[in-house]
Structure 1
Amino acid sequence: MNSIKWYKNPEMIVALSALLIGLVTTFISIYSAYIDREYARASVWPRLEVFKSSSGNSFSYGVSNNGTGPALIKYAKIRDGSKYIKTWKEIKPFQNIRQSHISNRTLSPQNSITPLSYKGEDAKAFVKADGSISIELCYCSIYEECWVIDRSNQPTAVEACSIDNNQMFLQ
C-alpha cells in the first residue's frame, strides 16, 4: 500500500493554501482599517493658536484654528498674575472693551475669533497689562482627542478637558 504523507496530499495542500490566503487577507484588512481610522482622524485635526495684536491705538487677543477640522473649545482659563479671572473687566485697563465668548464654542477650520478687542487712546495700558496675563484653552477634535494650548502655542495632548469651576473663564 502506497501511503502519502498528510502534507503531500493534494487536498491538504489546497486547504493549507486557502488558510494562508485567508490569514494574509485578514491581516491586510485589519491594517487597512487602522490606516483608514488614522487618516480620518488626521483629516479633522484641529490646531488652535492664541495671538495678540497691537498697533498704535488698537489692541486685541485672537484665537485661530489652523488645523483641518473643527475645534470644540471646552474651556478657557485666564490669569492676571496669579489670580484666575472670570471676566475681562476684572483687569483694570480692560473696563471698556469689545469682547466675544470663547469658552464652550466650536471654531471651524481656517477661522478665527477675537475674544477681546480695544480701539482708543489707552492701547498702551493694554500692552503693559498683557505682560501679566496668561491664557489657556482646552479643545477637542470630533473624535474626542483633546489638547491644552497656552500662549506659547505648543499643544499638549490630554486625556480629557476638565477644570475646577473656580478657574473657569466665563466669557
Structure 2
Amino acid sequence: MGTGNKVEMLIAICAVLTSAIAVFIAWDQGRVMRAQQHGAVYPVIQIDGFVSTSVDTASMGIRVSNSGVGPALIEQVRMLRNGEPVASLNLYVDRFPSGYDLSWTSLIGRAIAPGSNVEPLRVDWSRDDISGDQLGAVAAEWSQLDAEICYCSVFDRCWITRGLGMGRTMGRAERVKRCERSEVDLFEAVANAPRASGTETISEVE
C-alpha cells in the first residue's frame, strides 16, 4: 500500500470517528434536553386526610395537592382497605352523624396545577350536631382507608401514589407505564347516592 493510500485511509477513519463522536454528542445533548423538559413539568401529588374543629364547626375530609413544578393529570382514583379496592364509599358516608354538609368535587380527568389543592370530599357539622367522641369515631373508621391516585405529566410520564389514612405517612410515588382512566368517580357516586335522612346537604365544589 502506497503512502497516498495510507493517508487516504487515515483521513477516512478520522472522518468516521468524527461523525460517530458528533452523533454521540447530539444524542447526549438530546437526552439532557429531554430530561430538563421532563424535570421542568414534574408533578408530585400528595394525599392527606384532615380533621379540624373550631368553636362553631367540625370538619373532616380528603385533600389532594400538587407540590411539584408541573400540572398533574388525574386519570385514576381508588380507595383501598387492607390493600383491596373499595367499590363504594356510601357505606362509610351513611355512618356519618346526621346534620352534615357534604361537599365534593370530581378528580377524574382533572388537571391540578402546581401549588394547588383539591378537596374531593369534605364534611362539615355544626358543633351542636356532633360530639368529640362521634367525630373521633368517624375519623377512626375513615383512617382504615387509603387513597391511590394514578396521574401523568403533560409528557405522559405517569406515577401511582398512595396516602391518606388520616395522617399515615405516604411513600414515594411509583413510576408506571400508563394510567387506566377510572370508569367511575367514587366522589361523584357519593353525591348521587340516595340518603336516608333529609337533614344532610350535598354540594359540588368547583
Percent identity between the aligned chains? Answer: 21
Letter in 1 for 2:152: C
In structure 2, distance between residues paired with 1:107 and 1:76? 14
In structure 1, distance between residues paired with 2:91 and 2:109? 17
Unaligned runs of 5+ in 2: 164-169, 189-206
Counterpart among 103, 106, 109 of residue 111 in structure 2: 106
1:24 equivalent to 2:21? Answer yes
Q: Secondary structure at the match of 1:115?
A: strand
1:6 Cα offset (Å): 2.8
The RMSD of aligned alpha carbons is 2.8
Letter in 2 for 1:28: I
Q: Secondary structure at the match of 1:160?
A: coil
Q: Please tell me whether the aligned partners of residues 75 and 169 of structure 1 are also in contact (alpha carbons under 8 angstroms).
A: no
- 57-66 or 121-130, which moves further after superposition? 121-130
- 150-159 or 13-22, which moves further after superposition? 13-22
Q: Please tell me whether the aligned partners of residues 70 and 141 of structure 1 are also in contact (alpha carbons under 8 angstroms).
A: yes
1:111 Cα offset (Å): 0.8
Q: Please tell me whether the aligned partners of residues 64 and 113 of structure 1 are also in contact (alpha carbons under 8 angstroms).
A: yes
Residue in 2 that maps onto 1:85: 88
Q: Secondary structure at the match of 2:78?
A: strand
Residue in 1 that maps onto 2:59: 58
Letter in 1 for 2:112: L
1:149–1:127: structure 2 CA closer, same or farther, 3 Å change rule? same
Q: Secondary structure at the match of 1:84?
A: coil
The Cα offsets for residues 96-124 of structure 1, whole Å up to 9 and x where unpaired, read as 31111122211111111111222323343
Residue in 2 that maps onto 1:49: 46
In structure 1, distance between residues paired with 2:2 and 2:182? 78
Aligned residues: 167
Query: TM-score when scaled to structure 1?
Result: 0.80
Q: Please tell me whether the aligned partners of residues 59 and 126 of structure 1 are also in contact (alpha carbons under 8 angstroms).
A: no
1:127 equivalent to 2:128? Answer no
Counterpart among 22, 31, 36 of residue 39 in structure 1: 36
In structure 1, distance between residues paired with 2:181 and 2:74? 13
Unaligned runs of 5+ in 1: none
Residue in 2 that maps onto 1:169: 186
Letter in 1 for 2:5: W
- 14-23 or 80-89, which moves further after superposition? 80-89
Letter in 2 for 1:29: A
1:116 equivalent to 2:121? Answer yes
1:70–1:42: structure 2 CA closer, same or farther, 3 Å change rule? same
